[in-house]
Amino acid sequence: MRRNQHVVPAKDGGWNVKGAGSKRATVHTETKQEAIKIARSISQNQHSELIVHGKNGQIQSRDSHGHDPFPPRDKN
């Protein structure tokens, strides 16, 4: 099952990695970078998307590890 992975701020401090639609965090970390590293690994294994949120909850970046309907063009 492909489930996009979200890196979100935890209410009590630190950062959570959550699968889309999940109420509970898959992993809780102290740093955002650690959470991104773990979420990237999960999303690569699941061929899903990694979505990183800022402290305010807004999306800061997205990274697709699945089927990309608009892949980058070759520069040749």
* Strand arrangement of the beta sheet that strand 49-53 belongs to: 27-29, 15-19, 5-9, 49-53, 59-64
Q: Is the pLDDT at 76 greater than 60, yes or no?
A: no
Query: Could you tell me if residue 40 is inside a domain?
Result: yes
- 3-class secondary-structure state, position 68: coil
Query: Could you tell me if residue 56 is inside a domain?
Result: yes
Do strands 5-9 and 49-53 pair parallel, antiparallel, or not at all (unpaired)?
parallel
Residue 11 to residue 40: CA distance in whole angstroms = 22
pLDDT digits (tens, 9 = 90+) for 17-57: 999 999 999 999 999 999 999 999 999 999 999 999 999 99
**Domain range enclosing 23:** 5-60
Looking up tokens 């955002």, which residue turns up? Answer: 32
Length of the chain: 76
Report, as an integer, the average pLDDT of 58-70: 80
Structure confidence at residue 64 (pLDDT): 87
Give how many domains the chain has, as a whole number. Answer: 1
Structure confidence at residue 41 (pLDDT): 96
Query: Could you tell me if residue 41 is inside a domain?
Result: yes
